[in-house]
Structures are given as C-alpha cells and as structure tokens.
Amino acid sequence: MSEEKYIPNSKIGQWFDSRLPLLTLSAHLREYPTPRNLNYWWTFGGILTFFLITQIVTGVILAMYYVAHSDLAFESIEHIMRDINYGWLIRYVHANGSSMFFLAVYIHIFRTLYYGSYKSPREVIWITGLIIYLFMMVTAFTGYVLPWGQMSFWAATVITNLFSAIPLIGENITEWLWGGYSVGNPTLNRFYSLHYLFPFLIFGLVILHIWALHVPGNNNPVGIDVKKNNNETVSFHPFIVMKDLFALLVFLIIFFIFVFFAPNVLGHPDNYIVANPLVTPTHIVPEWYLLPFYAILRAIPSKLGGVIFMFASIFILMLLPWLDTSKVRSATFRPLYKKFFWILVVTVILLGYLGAKPPEGIYLILARIATIYYFVHFLIILPLLGRYEKTSPLPLSISDPVLNKPDIVDKFKKIVGEYEGENVDSFK
Amino acid sequence: MSKKIQSKRRDFLFTVTYTIGAVGVGAAIWPLIDQMNPGSSVKALATTEVDVSSVEVGKTIIVLWRGKPIFIRRRTKEEIEEASAVDLKDLKDPEKDEDRAKDPEWLVMVGVCTHLGCVPLGEKGEYNGWFCPCHGSHYDTSGRVRKGPAPNNLEIPKYEFINNNIIKIG
C-alpha cells in the first residue's frame, strides 16, 4: 500500500472509482509491498491461482459435453476424448491439472511449515488455507467419481462408507449421501452438482485468503518482521509478478510433460473399465495426493478409529499456530526444528508410499510407526521445541544475512570491477 | 406500565419470536436435506426374487438387490460343519451359524464388506470364506469376520423361501 491515497488520473476514472473503488483495489494489488528477499518457494501461491482458473475454465467446457447419468457418463467421457475437437487435450489438462494443483498446494503448505508462516499474526491466513485444502479434497473426490469407471465407483463407495463408522446414525448418513442403498445414479448426479459448486467456493475462499494475507503482509525466508518504508519491500508489480511468472513457466513445463507424454501415468487403468457394482478391483487405491491419509486410515486396526485418526491428521493442522509455541518463525534459525521438519517431510512421503501398498506385513508396521510419528510431531515435539530449543540469533534486518557476510563487499566490488574496470570504492 | 414489566414483556416477545423463527427455518431447511435420502423410485425396488434351482452344492451366485451384491451360497457339508464348530469366544461379532443360515445349506448375505463397502472375494482368505481385497478383512464360511479391520459380520438381508426354488430378498 502506498501511503498516499490513490487517485485515478482520468476524470471518468475518478467518477467510477468514487462509486466502486475497483481502480483503488487494482492499485493496491500492484503496489502491495512485498519483502524483497522472497525466494522461489513463495511463487506457489501464484501457481495455485493459475491452476484454480485453469481447472474452472476446462471444467466449464467439459461440463458442456459430460452427461451425469450412470448409464451415459462413461461413454460421454469417451465421446469427449474421441469426438470433440481437442476434447482429449481439455480433459487431460483438467485431469492432470488436479494433480499439479495438489503438488503445488503441498509445496505451498510445506513452505509454510518450514518458514513458520502460520504463526502470529498470520493464523487466519493459515486456517483459511486449510479450509481451501479441505474443499480441494472434496472437489477432487467428487470429480474423480464422474467418469464412472471402476476406480470412480469404488472410490465413491469406500469414501462414503467412511461415514458409516459413526455410531448409531452412520448408516443413515451414508444412505443420505447416496440417495439410495448403494452408490448409484442419484449419487453420481449430486456429486456432479457439488463438483461444479465447490471450485467457486474455493475461489471465494482464495479471495479471503489473499485478503487476510494483505493485512500483515508476507512472511519471508528470514521470518522477521519487515520494516516498512525502509527499502526492505518491493512493489508486487512488476517485481513479484515477473518472478511468479517465471516460476509458473517452469512449473508448466512439468505439467505439460504429463499432459502430452504421460497423461494417464497418475491415474489408474481400472478407471477405463465401466463401473461394476458386483466386482471390486483387486487393488484399489485413491489418487496419489490422498495416499498419506489413506495409509493412516488403514494403519489403525479399528474402523471408527481409522476414520477418526484420518480426519484428525488434517484437523490437527488447524491447531498448529498454537501447538508450535516458538517465537522464531523461520527454520533457518531453529536448528532442531529444521531437522524435525525434514523428518516430517520424509514421514509424509513414506505414508504416501505405504498408502499405495497392500496393508499387510512390513507395510502395515511401517504405516503404524509413521502414523504415530506424525501425531507425535505435532502434539509432543513442537510444544517441547517451543520450550527447550536454543534458537540461533535473529538478524537485525532481512538484508543482514546477505550483507553481513565478511567477503560480500569484496566479491561485489570484484564483479562490478570486472565490468567497469575502475575504482568502485564509492559503493560502500 | 413500569419499565421492569415492559422489559420482561420485550424479553418474552423476543424469545417467542426467535423460537418460532427457528422452527420456521428448520421446517424450511428440512426438505432441502431430506431430498438427498432415497426417493420413492429407489425404495420401490426394495425386493428381488431369485431362482436358485440351478445352483449346485459348493457354488455361489451373486445377484443385485438395491444396487448391492447379494451372495447366495449353497454350502458344502464341510463348510457347514466348520462354521458351526467355531467357538463363539473366537469371534469379533459373535453370532451362531444357525442364526445366520435358516436352512444351513443356504447362506444368503449382503456381499458388502462391513469395513468400507468393497465386495469380498469368495473361497479366499485364511478361513476359507471370503476375503476383502481392499483392506484385508477375512470372513469364515458363515460370513463372520475373523480378522482385519471390518467391525461386523457380513449382513444377512431379510429373505424368505417362497418355495423350494425361489428366494425373495427384501
């Protein structure tokens, strides 16, 4: 935010802005002061926005051809793939787009964990973000059911049956979700309706998420508060916009490698078999981005317990700002937290791997250990670290860690000297 | 009227208004929630009749009832003996075999794993009954859960023999 109030240049602009201050909003977004030390881990918010819009655009197009009926859904997808001009491209972008969306959101979340961005005063940003993540899972799940293949059908069956674990009213809830006595046409129809609704709810939540971000401003890799008006910030446009665009391009290269060269590698071949309520595929697994939770579900040897732990593994994150009591945000200055952070990353990836394996033998034992560790990390390690960890001294400003290296000025002089070939002492 | 009486009157009116309002909102929301429950057309399909005359001993047929698979197994002598010989103390969800199969030769069950709803595979698993491939639950020859995450035995639907050949499910 620039300190002076924004006034549009043109008369008509002033007339409009005094009635609906869209131009002021746009000026705020352009001039929004951003810490100048943001690294590339901070570009994933922009990437996520891009993917949300891509999913909505491709999804609206797919909805023009898709038929939400249990007899016709599977064929309508094949119709899109074979007959509609560029239908294959639009569907593959939509299907792989969801995977990339989740990949980006996981990086975004782990960045938040590493740099402690969820801490005061940014708790509400963190919580709105987690609600977006939950809504993303609902959207991805309902979307995955729509092709009405074997994996769609059995994913819908298994996930809706999670609610049957609730004592007394569980059965009623599942029948209510299904609109019948099993997953069937009513289920498909309502999932389609919800799959269309939720992305727009996410869009609304993203606005709240960004709004909440713009109140305190961005955290940064050093994790100390940025001093405003002290040359420590740059305006969002063009500096951050350009950096975000570059990161987006690199990310899109990976995305389009999937879309054009391996469009089905993240899916399951069984989903090209039309849904059959009499036969469960021998090896059913959810999409990769839900595997860690699936592993937790199966690790608990009780139906209700598994469901409770699975939901708890997500909701525990909501309490994170209060479980992590350390005042230091960035892991850069928390030598122990940094190690535990990476152990957590490994644990979550391990859970994802185990979620794709059959729940027996060594896989089951490892899944149990990893599940326990996951909860220990948040409930025991973080509160203890907040109390006992000896953190490194924080720098005085965000530019300190760069400028305070002993030989940095000499290095800089040398580089500049090579270009200029003359005295550069005046720099200091 | 004194101020005190007036404010009591106000409080009463507010409470009544809120209560009636809440009932009204609830009544308005209920249709929006109940529409998701099974509709009349779904409920109308609640019974199925099956001709089982062609099922041989040791074979299972699977029919659809309310969109769910129903296992109808004509059990062998050994299977019946194995099922009735089990000590109820060994069971997670204790049920006698004779309570599950009215006619011991015929076992009629909903073929849906009580864990998360997959269809178990027949003549598999550690107890020669059924095995669910999704999360590894084992059922015995009476469809009772013996091992794995499933909390209950395979459900026995309401059914009756109309005559020697026809079973009416539902």
pLDDT score of A1 = 43
The answer to whether the Cβ–Cβ distance between B66 and A277 falls below 8 Å is no
What interface predicted TM-score (ipTM) does this complex get?
0.77
| Closest-approach residue (CA) in chain B for A151 | B118
| Mean pLDDT for the stretch of residues A305-317 | 94
B37–chain A nearest CA distance, Å: 4
Q: End-to-end CA distance of chain B, in Å?
A: 67
Q: Is the pLDDT of residue A87 over 90?
A: yes
CA dist A301 → A237, B137, B147 (Å): 53, 11, 10
B147–chain A nearest CA distance, Å: 10
Q: Which of B60, B130, B134 to mutate to test the interface with A (most CBs of A within 10 A)?
A: B134
Neighbours of A373 (CB within 10 A): 17
A–B CB contacts, 8 A cutoff, strictly below: 88
pLDDT score of B125 = 84
| Mean pLDDT for the stretch of residues B35-46 | 84
Query: What is the pLDDT of chain A when averaged over all its residues?
Result: 92
Q: Is the pLDDT of residue B82 over 90?
A: no
Q: What is the pLDDT of residues A217-256, one digit of tens each?
A: 999 999 999 886 668 899 999 999 999 999 999 999 999 9
Residue B138 bridge partners (DSSP): B131, B147
Nearest to A182 among B68, B115, B121 (CB): B68
> Which positions in chain B touch A177 (Cβ < 8 Å)?
36
pLDDT score of A344 = 98
pLDDT score of A420 = 57
Q: Is the pLDDT of residue B80 over 80?
A: yes
Q: Measured between alpha carbons, how far is B161 from B168 in angstroms, rounded to an integer? A: 6
The answer to whether the Cβ–Cβ distance between B134 and A279 falls below 8 Å is no
| Mean pLDDT for the stretch of residues A269-287 | 90
The answer to whether the Cβ–Cβ distance between A302 and B37 falls below 8 Å is no
Q: Comparing A21 with A402, which gets the higher pLDDT?
A: A21
The percent of residues above 70 in pLDDT, for chain A, comes to 94
The answer to whether the Cβ–Cβ distance between A182 and B39 falls below 8 Å is no
The answer to whether the Cβ–Cβ distance between B117 and A360 falls below 8 Å is no
> Which positions in chain A touch B48 (Cβ < 8 Å)?
none
| Mean pLDDT for the stretch of residues A282-288 | 87
Q: Which of A182, A194, A276 to mutate to test the interface with B (most CBs of B within 10 A)?
A: A182
pLDDT score of B123 = 84
Nearest to A277 among B36, B42, B67 (CB): B67
> Which positions in chain A touch B135 (Cβ < 8 Å)?
298, 359
pLDDT score of A112 = 97
B135 carries an active-site annotation: yes
Q: What is the pLDDT of residues A92-113, one digit of tens each?
A: 999 999 999 999 999 999 999 9
Please, which pLDDT band fits residue B92 given cuts at 50, 70 and 90? confident
Please, which pLDDT band fits residue A423 given cuts at 50, 70 and 90? low
Q: Six-digit token pair at A164?
A: 């049957």
Q: Locate tokens 């608990």: which residue? A: A300
B134–chain A nearest CA distance, Å: 6
| Mean pLDDT for the stretch of residues A308-325 | 95
Look at A106-110, A303-307, A333-337, A385-389 and tell me which has the smallest mean pLDDT: A303-307
Q: Measured between alpha carbons, how far is A326 from A365 in angstroms, rounded to an integer? A: 33
CA dist A345 → A302, A348, A394, B70 (Å): 26, 5, 25, 44
Instruction: Identify the active-site residue in B8, B9, B92, B135.
Output: B135
Residues 6+ apart with CB under 8 A from A219: A35, A115, A116, A117, A122, A329
The answer to whether the Cβ–Cβ distance between B119 and A279 falls below 8 Å is yes
Q: How far is CA A402 from the centre of its chain?
A: 30
pLDDT score of B128 = 85
Q: Is the pLDDT of residue B42 over 60?
A: yes
pLDDT score of B102 = 84
Q: Six-digit token pair at A223?
A: 């994790």
Q: Measured between alpha carbons, how far is A222 from A398 in angstroms, rounded to an integer? A: 6
| Mean pLDDT for the stretch of residues A16-42 | 94
Q: Classify burial at B162, counting beta carbons within 10 Å of its beta carbon; exposed 0-12, middle 13-18, buried 19 or more.
A: exposed
| Mean pLDDT for the stretch of residues A411-423 | 63
Q: What is the pLDDT of residues A176-211, one digit of tens each?
A: 999 998 999 999 999 999 999 999 999 999 999 999
The answer to whether the Cβ–Cβ distance between A183 and B67 falls below 8 Å is yes
Q: Is the pLDDT of residue A422 over 70?
A: no
**Interface residues from chain B to A (CB-CB < 8 Å):** 33, 36-39, 42, 62, 64, 66-69, 112, 114-119, 121, 132-136, 149-151
Q: Is the pLDDT of residue B77 over 90?
A: no
The answer to whether the Cβ–Cβ distance between B133 and A282 falls below 8 Å is yes
Q: Which of A71, A151, A157, A162 to mutate to test the interface with B (most CBs of B within 10 A)?
A: A157
DSSP secondary structure letters along A178-236: HTSSSS-HHHHHHHHHHHHHHHHHHHHHHHHHHHHHHTT----TT-SPPPTTTT-EEEI
Please, which pLDDT band fits residue A421 given cuts at 50, 70 and 90? low
pLDDT score of B1 = 56
Out of A360-364, A392-396, B24-28, B73-77, the most confident range is B24-28
DSSP state of A371: H
pLDDT score of A389 = 93
